[in-house]
């Protein structure tokens, strides 16, 4: 379900599973299959999208696969309607909450009412919506380019050359084999050894380990809960915060403050740069224990530290330092993070770096806002074509 982000697919983090031939045939996806998220938070349950990838794919149990009658209903048309406000109203009506999660089952999905104009009209509306989505993607890509360009900018500031492309094979001595788990991890080890600084991450941040159990200390209070599962790969701050009663949040959670750096420490999330600044809290705020929570020391700008850590150079090193049984489950220990070589504050013009970060941030935010406004207008137009203007 995490691969389905809003109205788009995100396959930057893909799970793999061994299946027998019978299971693979049963659960294999075809292009044009509609996937519906049957269990999630109240805001996210019911999101759906049309699968259109080549290769061999299967779907997880918290998704429902739907195949439409191609002679009556285009799957793209169905997805656009279910994701519309009118579709959302129906999902909210049939969904129910069980143990903190909202659910919709297959029978309830069958009950959703979808307008059924002629196929030619469906195709006309789908083409218009896909054009609007392409325009949205273009603006979002421009915003993303501002972010990805930060690596080159910071390498220049640090007076470092870009790391050489990853080789597929290395010759190593037998005593080095414990560190040569893969070409990628070995390359990161060599990269770490080449860094010129005598200081470390511990000189820039402290690791916060203050935890609380909302279900015990404030079971009837509302808490803001920052979860890795709902965090997109974007650096400016947390976009989705769940507000829950304390008794719905189980287990110890980190307490966080504004501008704390939340670093998702699972191996794939490190490579995908899921690091953000915590927002100004509206109420008591906790974060998943799968984060490392970092608080900047005096003399360091949180945005500067965040962006340094988001550089591919440091992400590769953090991934090297991660440990676990399999690459998909590697976790970064806080002490290993703190010991990584890092520039000293005196070596950087933090004011100019922060100015550049904020310039890019504001431009990226403006582009994202334009993209979302245009997409919202397209969705309203789509509904009006089917249901008439809103009263």
Q: What is the pLDDT of residues 336-364, one digit of tens each?
A: 999 999 999 887 899 999 999 999 989 99
Q: Considering its fold, how many domains does the chain have in total?
A: 2
Task: Indicate whether 285 belongs to any domain.
Answer: yes
Tell me what pLDDT residue 334 has: 94
Tell me what pLDDT residue 162 has: 76
Task: Indicate whether 127 belongs to any domain.
Answer: no
Q: What is the pLDDT of residues 67-103, one digit of tens each?
A: 999 899 999 999 999 999 999 999 988 888 877 788 8
Task: Indicate whether 338 belongs to any domain.
Answer: yes
Task: Indicate whether 22 belongs to any domain.
Answer: yes
> Tokens 């809290």 — which residue?
281
Quick check: helix, strand or coil at residue 120?
Answer: helix
Domain membership of residue 169 as a residue range: 161-195+198-342
Residues 109 and 166 in one domain: no
Quick check: helix, strand or coil at residue 178?
Answer: coil
* Last-in-domain residue among 85, 116, 147: 116
Tell me what pLDDT residue 340 has: 94
CATH number at residue 208: 3.90.220.20
* Last-in-domain residue among 304, 323, 342: 342
**For residue 323, pLDDT beyond 80:** yes
Q: With CA atoms as reference, report the closest residue to 36 among 70, 10, 86, 75.
A: 75
Tell me what pLDDT residue 262 has: 93
Q: Could you tell me the pLDDT band of residue 176, with boundaries at 50, 70 and 90?
A: low
- Asked whether the CA dihedral 280, 41, 362, 295 is positive or negative, the reply is positive
Tell me what pLDDT residue 26 has: 92
Q: What is the pLDDT of residues 360-387, one digit of tens each?
A: 989 999 999 999 999 999 999 999 999 8
**For residue 325, pLDDT beyond 80:** no
**Among 190-204, 206-220, 323-337, which stretch is predicted with the lowest mean pLDDT?**
323-337
Residues 243 and 322 in one domain: yes
Task: Indicate whether 349 belongs to any domain.
Answer: no
Question: What's the CA gap between 385 and 79, in Å, rounded?
Answer: 16
Task: Indicate whether 252 belongs to any domain.
Answer: yes
Q: Could you tell me the pLDDT band of residue 391, with boundaries at 50, 70 and 90?
A: low
Q: Report the mean per-residue pLDDT for the chain.
A: 88
**For residue 127, pLDDT beyond 90:** yes
Radius of gyration in angstroms for the set of CA atoms belonging to the chain, rounded to a whole number: 23
Extended beta strands in 200-327, E state = 205-208, 211-212, 222-226, 242-245, 253-255, 261-264, 275-277, 285-287, 291-296
**Are residues 267 and 331 in contact, defined by beta-carbon separation less than 8 angstroms?**
yes
Question: What's the CA gap between 294 and 77, in Å, rounded?
Answer: 45
Tell me what pLDDT residue 165 has: 65
Task: Indicate whether 290 belongs to any domain.
Answer: yes
Q: Could you tell me the pLDDT band of residue 181, with boundaries at 50, 70 and 90?
A: low
Percent of the chain with pLDDT over 70: 94
Tell me what pLDDT residue 259 has: 92
């Amino acid at each position: 379900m995490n691969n389905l982000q809003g109205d788009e697919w995100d396959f930057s983090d893909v799970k793999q599973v061994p299946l027998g031939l019978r299971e693979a045939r049963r659960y294999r996806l075809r292009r044009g299959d509609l996937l519906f998220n049957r269990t999630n938070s109240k805001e996210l349950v019911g999101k759906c999208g049309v699968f259109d990838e080549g290769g061999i794919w299967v779907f997880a149990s918290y998704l429902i696969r739907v195949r439409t009658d191609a002679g009556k209903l285009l799957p793209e048309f169905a997805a656009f309607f279910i994701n519309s406000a009118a579709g959302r109203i129906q999902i909210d009506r049939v969904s129910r909450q069980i143990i903190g999660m909202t659910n919709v089952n297959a029978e309830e999905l069958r009950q959703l009412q979808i307008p059924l104009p002629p196929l030619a009209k469906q195709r006309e509306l789908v083409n218009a919506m896909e054009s609007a989505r392409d325009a949205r993607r273009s603006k979002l890509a421009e915003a993303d380019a501002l972010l990805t360009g930060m690596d080159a900018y910071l390498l220049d500031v640090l007076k470092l050359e870009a790391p050489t492309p990853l080789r597929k094979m290395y010759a190593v001595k037998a005593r080095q084999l414990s560190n040569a788990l893969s070409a990628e991890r070995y390359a990161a080890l060599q990269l770490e050894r080449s860094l010129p600084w005598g200081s470390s991450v511990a000189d820039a941040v402290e690791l916060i380990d203050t935890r609380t159990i909302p279900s015990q200390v404030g079971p009837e209070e509302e808490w803001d809960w920052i979860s890795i599962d709902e965090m997109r790969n974007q650096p400016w701050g947390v976009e989705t915060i769940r507000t829950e009663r304390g008794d719905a949040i189980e287990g110890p959670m980190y307490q966080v403050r504004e501008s704390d750096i939340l670093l998702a420490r699972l191996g794939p999330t490190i490579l995908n740069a899921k690091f953000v600044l915590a927002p100004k809290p509206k109420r008591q705020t906790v974060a998943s224990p799968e984060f490392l929570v970092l608080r900047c020391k005096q003399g360091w700008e949180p945005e500067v530290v965040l962006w340094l850590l988001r550089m591919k150079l440091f992400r590769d090193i953090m991934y090297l330092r991660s440990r676990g049984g399999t690459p998909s489950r590697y976790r970064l220990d806080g002490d290993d993070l703190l010991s990584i070589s890092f520039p000293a504050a005196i070596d950087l013009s933090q004011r100019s770096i922060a100015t550049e970060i904020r310039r890019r941030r504001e431009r990226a935010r403006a582009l994202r806002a334009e993209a979302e406004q245009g997409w919202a207008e397209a969705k309203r137009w789509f509904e009006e074509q089917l249901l008439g203007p809103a009263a």
